[in-house]
A and B are shown apart, each in its own frame.
Chain A
Amino acid sequence: MPTSVLIVDDHPSFRLSARRMLEADGYEVVGEVEDGSGALIAAHELAPDVVLLDVQLPDLDGFEVAERLEEAGATAAIVLTSTREAADFGARIGSSPVRGFVSKGELSGAAIAALVG
């Protein structure tokens, strides 16, 4: 059974590219949402294995969304992503309840598999 993914990003062009790339690499993209509050609802309803979560969202930021998912008892492995580098966010990634971070430029099925295991 393929790994299911929820994509959270406010840029449609990124969502489209990410979906194609992940599907080409054997993932099943079960949903796309464009903001943090949508992510909380979709994660609950779809119960994906992985949430690919953009850091900069129009409402809540990615760290906030990750914390709320954690509090809600979500079992999904959360992977943060951004056009910025991991170093731009300092220690915040390490202290956040996420599996890891992959910059958008490095994004691939293999990069996610390496973090999720």
Chain B
Amino acid sequence: MTADTPPRLTSLGRALAALAVLAVAIGIASVTIVLSSDHTSSRGFAAALILIAGWGFVGTGLYAWYRRPGNRTGVLLTAVGFTWFFQALESSDNAAIFAIGAIGINLPFAILIHLLVAFPSGRLEGRLQRTVVAGAYFVTVVLQWLWIPFVNPERQGCEGCPENPIRIEGQEGVADAVNAVQTAIAIPVVAATIAIIYLRWRRSPPSERRVLTPVIATGALAFALLFVLLVLDPAGASDGAQRAVFIAAVAAFACLPFALLAGLLRSRIGRDEELRSALTAENEQLTSELRAKVEELRASRARIVEAGYAERRRVERDLHDGAQQRLVALAMSLKLARSRLEADPQTSAELLDEAIAELGETTRELRELARGIHPAVLSDRGLEAALGALADRSPVPVEVVGTPPERLPAAVESAAYFVVAEALTNVARYAEAEAASVELGREDGALAVEVADDGVGGADPTAGTGLRGLADRVAALGGELRVESPPGGGTKVRARIPLDG
């Protein structure tokens, strides 16, 4: 599956690598703090518990984050790992660091609850799940902050702990009250967490259950061992028994991230949802791209149709203002000559001479007009001859090079011809150029056309209809038209017209 293929080392990969380095540094610092503590019992085991679980959570979290960036479980695992190191700060002999540890020490358990409730999709669904997770954070963040100023570590049974640097003296009662509220909220939160996980496990199909079972079993074992460990000491159990349970708890917590990771990677629910959301996102992008393309095509088609109408109006106007006016005048001259034929043969002859000259002009104009509609030389003799004729008529000297000698598809020849014709017309009208060049060439199955001049530049291809219409015409053949016209730097019109249509 493509969703499981690790992506190349991207910016995400680099960021995660930096987090891994940070976790190694924090882990080493934590071990140093714990081992040098003068108020922590079983320093070696405490350091081992912190290091194995902390690195285990961060390592598996970063791996899950990298493999499944769309699933929040990796982020949460990593967060559990980093906050796990708060425990080490509580071993510090420095009062400020000790206090920071006391503030953050319970946070990883809230994140763990968040993670387990949201597992394996990484998303919270429904009001119950959100309420439970919000309760966990409320207890471990808000109430923890409220609790800290009133705590006297010595009274909590910690011998050799540093003083609470922000302690408000003589308010132990407040600390106890906050502690009681924490417990009162924590109990239903933990119970609800267990219920949510159990119900999810119950409702899962057998295939899914196989994935969830190790996660839930490991998590339950870890929390149960922690609970047993907490009650053993007040119950007066032997050091050996406490030690054995402690080692088992270390092992269970160290296993938990790996069980979660295995569950996450094997989970079909998470993967399907992720695939679906990835596909949906891709779909949406494709749809919007398609919509933009359709819109562009619609606009270009409308412009082509409009250009067609505009062209017909131009032809009508040219015919009306040109040939038709001349023919009308011609008819009047002939009528006049006819009426004067006997009375004034001299004037009649003059009128007839004028009529003949007028007729020649009319013929020339009609020929010009017809060439604007479709140049006969192009269909009869091909692009080379047609471009040569365009160059000959241009008032600015034009050099034409590279025209393919063979015949090309009619649509390509025609588009190339009109690109050159329009560009040369613009050169003559606006460029104030000394010379222009037309260069053609075949490039990767396309005809490349470039018309360049040494004039004043500064042409705006979007301003006039001529180049815009040509761009649409070239685009209709799957090609493209570009205009480069820096002020003072001449103008280059480049078209690329695919030969296979």
User: Provided the pairs A13-B358, A83-B320 are in contact, do residues A24 and B329 lie with their beta carbons within 8 angstroms?
Assistant: no
Q: Are A24 and B339 in contact (CB under 8 A)?
A: yes
In chain B between 320 and 337, which residues have their CB closer than 8 angstroms to a CB of chain A?
320-321, 324-326, 328-329, 331-333, 335-336
- Is A99 engaged at the interface, CB distance under 8 Å to the other chain? no
- Is A21 engaged at the interface, CB distance under 8 Å to the other chain? yes
Question: How far in angstroms is the closest Cβ of chain B from A107?
Answer: 7
Indicate the size class of the contact surface on chain A: 10 to 19
Q: Are A24 and B326 in contact (CB under 8 A)?
A: no
- Is A44 engaged at the interface, CB distance under 8 Å to the other chain? no
Q: Are B325 and A83 in contact (CB under 8 A)?
A: yes
- Is A37 engaged at the interface, CB distance under 8 Å to the other chain? no
- Is A16 engaged at the interface, CB distance under 8 Å to the other chain? yes
Q: Are A11 and B332 in contact (CB under 8 A)?
A: no
Complex interface bits, B209-222 against A, C-beta within 8 A gives 1, otherwise 0: 00000000000000
Q: Which of A13, A14, A24 contacts B340 (CB 8 A)?
A: A24
Residue of A nearest to B320 (CB): A83
User: Provided the pairs A24-B339, A24-B340 are in contact, do residues A17 and B324 lie with their beta carbons within 8 angstroms?
Assistant: no
- Is A92 engaged at the interface, CB distance under 8 Å to the other chain? no
Chain A residue numbers with a CB within 8 Å of B333 are 17, 20
Chain B residue numbers with a CB within 8 Å of A107 are 332
User: Provided the pairs A11-B321, A83-B320 are in contact, do residues A105 and B328 lie with their beta carbons within 8 angstroms?
Assistant: yes
Q: How many A-B residue pairs have C-beta atoms within 8 angstroms? Tell me.
A: 39
Question: How far in angstroms is the closest Cβ of chain A from B137?
Answer: 79
- Is A42 engaged at the interface, CB distance under 8 Å to the other chain? no
Q: How many residues of B contact A (CB 8 A)?
A: 16
- Is A78 engaged at the interface, CB distance under 8 Å to the other chain? no
Binding site secondary structure of chain B = helix
In chain B between 351 and 397, which residues have their CB closer than 8 angstroms to a CB of chain A?
351, 358
Q: Are A11 and B335 in contact (CB under 8 A)?
A: no
Complex interface bits, A96-115 against B, C-beta within 8 A gives 1, otherwise 0: 00000000110110000000
- Is A18 engaged at the interface, CB distance under 8 Å to the other chain? yes
Q: Are B339 and A11 in contact (CB under 8 A)?
A: no
Measured CA separation A11–B320 after assembly (Å): 11
Q: Which of B320, B329, B351 contacts A13 (CB 8 A)?
A: B329
Chain A residue numbers with a CB within 8 Å of B332 are 14, 17-18, 20-21, 104, 107
User: Provided the pairs A13-B358, A83-B320 are in contact, do residues A24 and B336 lie with their beta carbons within 8 angstroms?
Assistant: yes
Chain A residue numbers with a CB within 8 Å of B329 are 11, 13-14, 16-17
Q: Are B336 and A20 in contact (CB under 8 A)?
A: yes
In chain A between 51 and 77, which residues have their CB closer than 8 angstroms to a CB of chain B?
56
Residue of B nearest to A23 (CB): B336
Residue of B nearest to A83 (CB): B324
Q: Are B339 and A13 in contact (CB under 8 A)?
A: no
Chain A residue numbers with a CB within 8 Å of B340 are 24
Measured CA separation A14–B358 after assembly (Å): 12
Chain A residue numbers with a CB within 8 Å of B358 are 13
Chain A residue numbers with a CB within 8 Å of B335 are 21, 108
Q: Which of A11, A24, A56, A105 contacts B331 (CB 8 A)?
A: A105
**Besides A16-B329, A20-B333, 17 other CB < 8 A contacts?**
A11-B321, A11-B325, A11-B329, A14-B329, A14-B332, A17-B328, A17-B329, A17-B332, A20-B332, A24-B336, A24-B339, A83-B320, A83-B324, A83-B325, A83-B328, A104-B328, A105-B331
8 A-B pairs within 8 Å (CB atoms) are namely: A11-B321, A13-B326, A17-B329, A17-B333, A21-B332, A56-B320, A104-B328, A105-B328
Interface residues of A (CB under 8 A from B): 11, 13-14, 16-18, 20-21, 24, 56, 83, 104-105, 107-108
